[in-house]
Amino acid sequence: MPLALSKLIGSTYYIPSPSNVGLIIQDNKAILIDSGSDKEAGRQILKLLKEQNLELSLIINTHSNADHIGGNEFLQKRTNCRIAATAMEAALTEQPVLEASILNGAYPHKRLQNKFLLAKASRVTDVISNSGQILETTLESVSLPGHFLDMIAVRTTDNVLFTADSIISEEILSKYHIHFLYDVKAHFETLDMLKKREDKLFVPSHGKPVAPDVFKALVEFNEHKIKENISVVQDSMTEFITSEDILAKVCTYYGIELNANQYVLIFSTIRSILSYLLDDKQVEVSYDYGWMLWRRM
């Protein structure tokens, strides 16, 4: 389905897609928040901008996951636009193989070298802070640790907050049950912060824009689902067990059938949960004949 431009409030727009793209008009130029999942998304975004007689001046990447920077390379090549990201996310934007390597815990085999995990490299022209005014724009970055290395939200002067992957829609979470998390403790802190936000409108990357009351309920649903994930992981450890066996039990519980991409994403999240539980002294580990074994305390 072709992408379309949708107005939110004032000069704040968004382009609904599998990974939503924000668009802010400032000084008759366009600023994008993320760039879609691939070259085709970038191509359609550029077409929309031309139809509106808008010149693309800047892409602000909330984080470096491939579905958020996938249009960068095409758009930068065609428009010579600037690209801004926080320092750690900038490193992966310029060297996307690092994301697939982090997920796999090693060099990513060819089945992982696809557009969902490995975007085309683009040049970050501006490294920005994870909080405060973004360059010379009227936009503000808000730190969202947890989902990835140094993810940010972007707030516009119309009081619209683009919340990146900090919040996932109830529909998606109910269907897939687990979403990728890098730092569970930091993510809980992010959810606590988001509950207190008083913006007019919230735009998650995966889901429809929502009003404040709906957003707070959605934050609570996300928090509940992550706590459920943690409980499922804990319940699998009635005796010393490998992380692979924990993965198998979690997938059996939720009825998840894995492919190469889902394997590294879900397994990474489970290992993040295990790290969280270990640091919180809720589980213990044992090393036995080459195995790292986990047990609930």
- Which amino acid, residue 110? K
Percent of the chain that is helix, strand, coil (3-state, to 5): 40, 25, 35
Q: At what angle do helices 260-279 and 243-254 cross, to 10 degrees?
A: 110
User: Are 239 and 254 found together in one domain?
Assistant: yes
What's the domain range around 265?
232-296
Same domain, 271 and 187: no
Q: Let me know whether 167 and 277 are in one domain.
A: no
Would you give per-residue pLDDT tens digits along the chain (297 residues)? 789 999 999 999 999 999 999 999 999 899 999 999 999 999 999 999 999 999 999 999 999 999 999 999 999 999 999 999 999 999 999 999 999 999 999 999 999 999 999 999 999 999 999 999 999 999 999 999 999 999 999 999 999 999 999 999 999 999 999 999 999 999 999 999 999 999 999 999 999 999 999 999 999 999 999 999 999 999 999 999 999 999 999 999 999 999 999 999 999 999 999 999 999 999 999 999 999 999 999
Same domain as 189, residue 54: yes
Flag whether 122 is in a domain: yes
Residues 136 and 113 grouped into a single domain: yes
What is the value of pTM for the model shown?
0.96
- Among the candidates 201, 230, 259, a domain finishes at 230
Residues 6+ apart with CB under 8 A from 50: none
Joined together, the tokens standing for residue 163 give 């919340």
Q: What is the CATH number of the domain that holds 42?
A: 3.60.15.10
Count of the separate structural domains present in the chain: 2
Domain identity same for 185 and 270: no
